[in-house]
Each structure stands twice: as C-alpha cells, then as structure tokens.
Chain A
Amino acid sequence: MKILIIEDNAELVYDLVQFLASYGYICQAAKTFAIAKEKIELYNYDLFVIDIGLPDGNGLELINSIKKIEYNSGIIIVTAKNAIEDKVRGLDLGADDYLTKPFHKEELNARIRSILRRNKFERNNEVFFNEMKIDLLAAQVFVNDKETVLTKKEYDLLLYFIDNKNRVITKESIAEHLWGDHIDQTDNFDFIYNHIKNLRKKIISNGGKDYIQSMYGMGYKFTE
C-alpha cells in the first residue's frame, strides 16, 4: 500500500512516515507543490495525504491532477486553517476526507484504513481480529461467532482500537474520534472510561479476551 504525504514541514513528515511505516504502509513524502506534482505524474499511489498550505502552491490544486491520473486513489486533505470553505472545496474537488491540524496520528490512520476499505480494489467489508469479526457493512460485531450488540460509540471505539492496535491511544484522541467537533463541549475526558468498561464487558461476556489495557492514566492500548 503506497501513500504519498505532501507536507512542507520536515518534522511532521518524518513523524508521519515513521508512524505509517509501522503499520506496514510504504510512505513517500513531497515537501513542495512542484515535487508533489512530479511524483503524482511519475509514480502510482493508493492514497494521498495533502497539506493545503504548501509554500509554493495550494494543495487543493493537486486534487485535480490526481483525479486525472489515478481516479481511484484516496485523498485526505490536511490544513492548519480551520476554514470551512477549504474543507468544502476540497471535498467538492474529490477529496475523500479532511483533517484539521493538529490531528492525532491514530485518527489519520483510522481515516486511511476507512478509505482503503472503501476503495474498490480492496473492498474488504470484514475486519478480523483473533476471535472477533466486524462486518463493516452491517456494522455488526461477532465474538467467537456470537453477535455482540454494541452501541454506535462502542462500535466506533472497537474499530478505532483495532485500526490502531498495539499503540497507546490517548483519551483525547479517543474522545475526538468518537465525538468529533462536539468534543469541544467538555474539558474532561474521564467519561470515556464508561465506554471502555462497557465494551470490555460485552467482549468478555461472549468469551472474548480482555485486550484493552489502561496506560499510565493517559490512555488505552489494544494489544494482541
């Protein structure tokens, strides 16, 4: 799976490349509009992560070039500006998703997974994890082939954990993933504990293992 990260800040690029590589992606980076354009034309990628604010051009303009060459590639746009117009324009041009800086890397990973699953070449509607199976189309979870009824939030949480397994995910990251913009509405993320507790209980009650570990009071880790 090849990903091109178009971002001008070297440190951010380094972090993202390292992070995504740890999940088995092949990552390349382009730090300017010109380099990005060249790479888009020369190589094939499954997904593009584009920072809109490039020093030598507007990242939105790259979307058209990508769509001409690789129509099925996924595109996630990233911007430091919390500007709704950019978001709307990017999605209109054909971007699949949108992230605002600063974002959690796990969130980026989850979005990438989601796009790749939707991608017509993969079109993988089932996610497996040991004794668990998630049917993405029906939004159903099976533990040891027994259907486990989860709430919408618990379902999202489980998928987020599986997408980011073996990694400490902070409470902030979970809260933002589950509640999106509405997470602004609270300054205290302790309530996440309730969701975790319920999810854990439901998996265990169907004979599943307890995969969720609390880490240093900062977050949780989903380990095999």
Chain B
Amino acid sequence: MKQRRQIKLLTKTTSIYLVFTFAAFFFSALFLINETDEYINSELDRRYQWTEGKIISDIKKYGEVRKKRSYAIVSNIEKMPKHSTFPIYKDSLIQNEERESKLLYRKKTTFIDVDGRFFKVEMIQNISDFNRLQSDILGSLIPAFIILAIVIVLFNYFLSGYFFNPFNKILNQIKNYEVGKGSSVPNILTSTAEFSKMQQLFCNMVERTEREYTTLKEYTENMAHEIQTPLTIIRNKTDNLISNETVMNTQSSSVKIIYDEVNHLSKLGTALNLLTKIEHGEFSNKTVLHTKELIIKHVDSVTELAGLKGLKFELNLSNSHSINIDPILFDIILKNLVKNGLNYATNEGSIKIATDDKSLTISNYGSPLEFPNEKIFSRFSKENGSSSSVGLGLALVNKICQRNNLRIDYLYQDQQHYFIISKNPQ
C-alpha cells in the first residue's frame, strides 16, 4: 500500500491555521501601511498647500516673501521650467539643531506663477513622526502574530493530549481488541461528537463480529465434536463388515474405501478443530521453551517409525535456542514438521533438524513440489500421491507461527526441502 507522509491532525490544522493567520496579518499590514501612507501624503499636501498659499498671498500683498521661513525657500526665476515632473518630492535626513539629531524631512520643490512672476518654492516638512506611525503599525502587528503563533503551537503541544485523550483511548481499544475475548467494549466518556460517533461505530462493529464469531465457533466446534460419534458408529459398522467374510468376499474394495474415508474424515475433523482453536488463540499459555530437550525427546519417539521407512535423523541442536510459545503449540509445530519430513523424505539422506540462537531448521531430501512454493502453507495443498494425508499439517504450523510472532520460511535447494522458523524482528 502506498503511504503518504504521516502528520498529526492537530499539527496539520495548526499549520494551515498559521499560514492563513500569517496571510491575514500580512494583508492587514499592507492595508494599514497603505492607509497611513495616504494619510501622511494628504496631511503633508494640506501643509504644503497652506505654506504655498501663505507665500502666494505674501507675494501678492507685498511683492515678496516678507517673513523668512525655515521650512520654505522662495527664489525668483526667469521663466517656468518646462519639466512636467514638478513638483518633486524628496526625503532626506537633515540635522535638527533643536533636537540635536538627524530627522527625516520631505522636501517639496515646486514652481509658482504669481501674477506673471515665477518663483521656485522649496518646502520641507518633518515626517519623522509620520514614519514612526508606520513602524509602530508593523511593530505591533509582527509581535502580535508571533505571540499568536507561539500560543497556538503551545496549545497544540499541551492540549492535544487532553483533547485527544478519548480518541487515543478508543484507538487503544481498537488496537487491543481480540475477537472472542469478551464481547463488551468499555464506554469512554467524550463530549466530542466525532469521537463519540467513532466509538459507537466501533462498538457496533465489535458486537457484529462477536456475534458472527460465536456462530462460526459453535458451528466448527459442533462439527468437529459431534461428527466424531457418527464417525465412530460408521467405523464400528465397517469393522463389523470387515469381520464378515460373506461381505468381504464380494465387497472388500468398497468396504476398504468406506473405512479409509471415514478415518480420513475423522482426522480432518480433529485437525480442523485444532486449527480453529489456534485461530481463536485458545492456547495462550506462553512460556520460554528451550527446544533442545523437546526435540530430542520427540525424535526419540519417532526414530523407530522413521527406521521402518529407512529414514534417519541428524540433529545439530544448540543449547541456547528458545521460543516463547505455549508448549502444546510447539509440540504441534514439531510433530507436523517432522511428520512432513517422514512422509515426503526420500532415502538419499537424513532428516536434519538444526537449531542455532535464532532459528530452527528442519530439512529433508525429496523431489520438488508439484505446486508453487508459496502454496505450501495453504490448507489442503498436498502432493497428488499422498491422498491419505489430511493436508492441514503445514497450515497448522503456519497459523501457529503467525499467532506467536514467529516467521516460517520454506525453500527448496540442492534437492532438499527446508523449513526455517525464526523469531520475527520486533
């Protein structure tokens, strides 16, 4: 399954929220700066016009500028320049004697025509205060944004645990839920509608699963148990037929088939029942088993059987190999792998059982599989020639491994079948 990078929901929403807030702050700042610019310009224009008006009225009244103004220099010129760029505005820092510091001034250079006389007017206005207004706006917006961002991140960090507590509890319930182990899920109090809905759905799902599980379990158990009595009856009746010479002289092949198939069915019932029990985790008495002794004991008990088929065992066992598993399950693993070896091994070499610190390997010589390797652990996949085999042994082994954090591998190499059981990396 292709996976995208995983980010926490709250981190995601917070990041997006921060981006939008930043954008909002940025555009507000632009707007405010623009507004202040307009205000400053109109205020300055108003002042320049007032000064210009004064100068014009002085010239009109007295023919010259009577009062020398520090913020306006008026000089006579011959003719009006043709430049259309006037008036010119220019900002510059000028030393202010009173304040003993350089202040920012804006100079407006313009030309006026008073009754046919031309004048060049240069007016300056202190704009330091106006500028401070602009930087004050930025100076208040930027910290406000930073404080907001910090608060949001801290909120995310500290409160997410609090708000997501019910969510995490529900997740834990889902994670730890095992079918067949108690049907009710404890209710987790939450005022968050989504979490509450999720929990409700989970509860419904558990209820449904448990119901179906119980039905299926009852069915398989009944099948496996109750089938044994009729099978015993059929077998007994067949036994009677086998002891009846009149019947056997004419029907021995049919009776033999019935007898064999009944035995097969009986084994099948037992194996399927066992498989179901394992699937439902009924053998959960896990202990750390040191396998050496157990393997030696089991091999001892089947050496004679193997000998009758001309097979030998070769053991290479480590003292340190151990598996954390219910002893009954390890017994089933061992039995079935050894049985598989006994059933399919050819006489070219021994059935080898080897353990080291990490793994258990059982191998035997034999012809290659008649079906794909990956099907070896599937139920009922068996060699055509071995119809007497139930076909569930390796499926049992595989199921046990899956449920006990063990990994089982099969490979065919140098005319040998290898089954390797190792601990799954945690």
Interface residues of A, Cβ cutoff 8 Å to B: 9, 11-12, 15-16, 18-19, 80-82, 101-105, 153, 167-168, 170, 172, 179, 182, 184-188, 191, 194, 215-219
The listed residue with most B CB atoms (<10 A of its CB), out of A12, A105, A172, A184, is A184
A182 contact set on B, CB distance < 8 A: 301-302, 305
B106 contact set on A, CB distance < 8 A: none
A218 B263 Cβ-Cβ under 8 A? no
- Minimal beta-carbon separation of A93 from chain B (angstroms): 23
Residue B131 interfacial (CB < 8 Å): no
Closest 8 CB pairs of A and B: A191-B308, A102-B232, A216-B252, A15-B236, A187-B388, A11-B233, A187-B389, A168-B242
> With A187-B386, A216-B252, A218-B242 given, is the CB distance from A105 to B236 under 8 Å?
yes
A80 B228 Cβ-Cβ under 8 A? yes
> Roughly how many angstroms separate A186 CA and B129 CA in the complex, as a whole number?
103
- Minimal beta-carbon separation of A216 from chain B (angstroms): 4
Within 8 A of A (CB), among B330-352: 335, 338-339, 342-343
B389 contact set on A, CB distance < 8 A: 187
A215 contact set on B, CB distance < 8 A: 242, 248
> Roughly how many angstroms separate A103 CA and B228 CA in the complex, as a whole number?
10
B226 contact set on A, CB distance < 8 A: 80
A186 contact set on B, CB distance < 8 A: 305, 309, 339, 342-343
Residue B225 interfacial (CB < 8 Å): yes
The listed residue with most A CB atoms (<10 A of its CB), out of B233, B236, B263, B309, is B236
> With A15-B237, A186-B305 given, is the CB distance from A103 to B232 under 8 Å?
yes
Among B232, B304, B386, point to the contact of A101 (Cβ < 8 A).
Answer: B232
Among A15, A185, A188, A216, point to the contact of B233 (Cβ < 8 A).
Answer: A15
Query: Could you jot down 19 A-B contacts, CB within 8 Å?
Result: A12-B229, A12-B233, A15-B236, A15-B237, A102-B228, A102-B231, A153-B304, A168-B243, A170-B259, A182-B301, A182-B302, A182-B305, A186-B339, A187-B339, A187-B388, A194-B308, A216-B242, A216-B248, A218-B256
Residue B239 interfacial (CB < 8 Å): yes
Interface readout for B57-79 with A: 1 if CB under 8 Å, 0 if not? 00000000000000000000000
> Roughly how many angstroms separate A102 CA and B263 CA in the complex, as a whole number?
9
> Roughly how many angstroms separate A106 CA and B366 CA in the complex, as a whole number?
37
How many inter-chain residue pairs (CB < 8 Å) link A and B?
88
A11 contact set on B, CB distance < 8 A: 233, 236
A104 contact set on B, CB distance < 8 A: 235, 239
> With A81-B225, A179-B305 given, is the CB distance from A105 to B239 under 8 Å?
yes
Within 8 A of A (CB), among B221-263: 225-226, 228-229, 231-233, 235-237, 239-240, 242-243, 248, 252, 255-256, 259, 263
Interface readout for B189-215 with A: 1 if CB under 8 Å, 0 if not? 000000000000000000000000000
> Roughly how many angstroms separate A142 CA and B301 CA in the complex, as a whole number?
28
B252 A15 Cβ-Cβ under 8 A? no
B242 A219 Cβ-Cβ under 8 A? yes
- Minimal beta-carbon separation of A76 from chain B (angstroms): 15
Residue B266 interfacial (CB < 8 Å): yes
Among B232, B252, B338, point to the contact of A218 (Cβ < 8 A).
Answer: B252
Looking across the interface, which residue of chain B has its beta carbon closest to that of A182?
Answer: B301
> Roughly how many angstroms separate A12 CA and B388 CA in the complex, as a whole number?
26
Looking across the interface, which residue of chain A has its beta carbon closest to that of B238?
Answer: A170
Looking across the interface, which residue of chain A has its beta carbon closest to that of B310?
Answer: A191
Residue B51 interfacial (CB < 8 Å): no
> With A215-B248, A216-B252, A218-B259 given, is the CB distance from A185 to B239 under 8 Å?
no
Residue B270 interfacial (CB < 8 Å): yes
B229 A80 Cβ-Cβ under 8 A? yes
Among A80, A153, A184, A194, point to the contact of B339 (Cβ < 8 A).
Answer: A184
A170 B232 Cβ-Cβ under 8 A? no
> With A188-B343, A191-B308, A218-B252 given, is the CB distance from A102 to B266 under 8 Å?
yes
Among B236, B263, B301, B343, point to the contact of A172 (Cβ < 8 A).
Answer: B263
- Minimal beta-carbon separation of B86 from chain A (angstroms): 111
Among A170, A184, A187, point to the contact of B335 (Cβ < 8 A).
Answer: A184
- Minimal beta-carbon separation of B227 from chain A (angstroms): 9
- Minimal beta-carbon separation of A219 from chain B (angstroms): 7
Looking across the interface, which residue of chain B has its beta carbon closest to that of A221?
Answer: B243
Looking across the interface, which residue of chain A has its beta carbon closest to that of B249?
Answer: A216
B343 A187 Cβ-Cβ under 8 A? yes
Within 8 A of A (CB), among B292-349: 301-302, 304-305, 308-309, 335, 338-339, 342-343
B338 contact set on A, CB distance < 8 A: 185
7 additional contacts, CB 8 Å, given A12-B233, A167-B243? A11-B233, A18-B240, A102-B232, A105-B239, A186-B305, A186-B342, A215-B242
A80 B305 Cβ-Cβ under 8 A? no
> Roughly how many angstroms separate A185 CA and B304 CA in the complex, as a whole number?
11
> Roughly how many angstroms separate A188 CA and B237 CA in the complex, as a whole number?
23
Looking across the interface, which residue of chain B has its beta carbon closest to that of A80?
Answer: B228
B225 contact set on A, CB distance < 8 A: 80-81
B342 A185 Cβ-Cβ under 8 A? yes
- Minimal beta-carbon separation of A118 from chain B (angstroms): 25
A191 B232 Cβ-Cβ under 8 A? no
A101 contact set on B, CB distance < 8 A: 228-229, 232
B390 contact set on A, CB distance < 8 A: 187
- Minimal beta-carbon separation of B310 from chain A (angstroms): 10
Looking across the interface, which residue of chain B has its beta carbon closest to that of A10?
Answer: B233
- Minimal beta-carbon separation of B383 from chain A (angstroms): 11
A216 contact set on B, CB distance < 8 A: 242, 248, 252, 255-256
A217 contact set on B, CB distance < 8 A: 252, 256
A80 contact set on B, CB distance < 8 A: 225-226, 228-229
